[in-house]
Amino acid sequence: MFIEPNYRTAKKGWIEVICGSMFSGKTEELIRRLKRAQIANLKVEIFKPAIDVRYDENDVVSHNETRIKSTPIENSQQILLLAQDVDVVGIDEAQFFDDEILLVADKLARMGIRVIVAGLDMDYLGRPFGPIPQVLAVADYVTKLHAICVVCGDIANYSYRKTVSDSTVLLGETDIYEPRCRSCYHK
């Protein structure tokens, strides 16, 4: 006998994206949302790319040193294997993941899981970064954060690279990058 599911009371998942330039508070906002979910007694799993070892090999850590336990992974497919029986999945520095992150986030959301993705929306050249534009396109909720331009004090949405390197991925902090507004970035 087939019983039709009650779609009005079924657990529904969704995708949230937190994006912006470097130093805009993306990771801090991700941690805030995840800690609130933990306070609500929801089961939370957090993932970050294994290459991101700037502050800690395992924890996700914001620039102001707020931290939360996470699992470093090599590729986005590992999230599906490790996110079992959870209510919320957090993904930090999503721009460093492969293009499959979009399919992974969508699959988790269809399974009834709240997925919170944080990452840079533009690279140091001001171009859309990695898979973030595709995730933004399918997200249910988008939060774009801004830093403060270190040159003029306006809102900043660009990550200006202060050093010479052609590599798209160059991990660094204020020694390598600074936030700039559109005008100061293009000067």
CATH of the domain at 142: 3.40.50.300
**Distance separating alpha carbons of residues 137 and 88, to the nearest angstrom:** 20
Domain residue limits at 119:
14-147
Domain presence at residue 9: no
| pTM: predicted TM-score of the whole model, two decimal places | 0.89
**Both tokens of residue 180?**
């700039």
Domain presence at residue 156: no
Pure H helices in 56-175: 77-82, 101-110, 132-138
Predicted local confidence at residue 31, as pLDDT = 93
- In the chain the beta strands, taken as DSSP E runs, fall at 14-20, 44-49, 60-61, 67-68, 71-73, 88-91, 114-120, 141-145, 147-148, 155-156, 158-161, 177-180
Containing H/E element for 27?
Answer: helix 26-39
Domain presence at residue 181: no
10-residue mean pLDDT series, the chain (187 residues): 61 95 94 96 95 71 79 95 95 96 98 97 95 97 98 97 77 78 96
Domain presence at residue 67: yes
Domain presence at residue 152: no
Predicted local confidence at residue 3, as pLDDT = 62
Domain presence at residue 174: no
Active-site annotation, residues: 93
Predicted local confidence at residue 175, as pLDDT = 79
Domain presence at residue 176: no
3-state secondary structure of 90: strand
Predicted local confidence at residue 56, as pLDDT = 65
Predicted local confidence at residue 155, as pLDDT = 98
3-state secondary structure of 82: helix
**Distance separating alpha carbons of residues 101 and 91, to the nearest angstrom:** 10
Number of folded domains that form the chain:
1
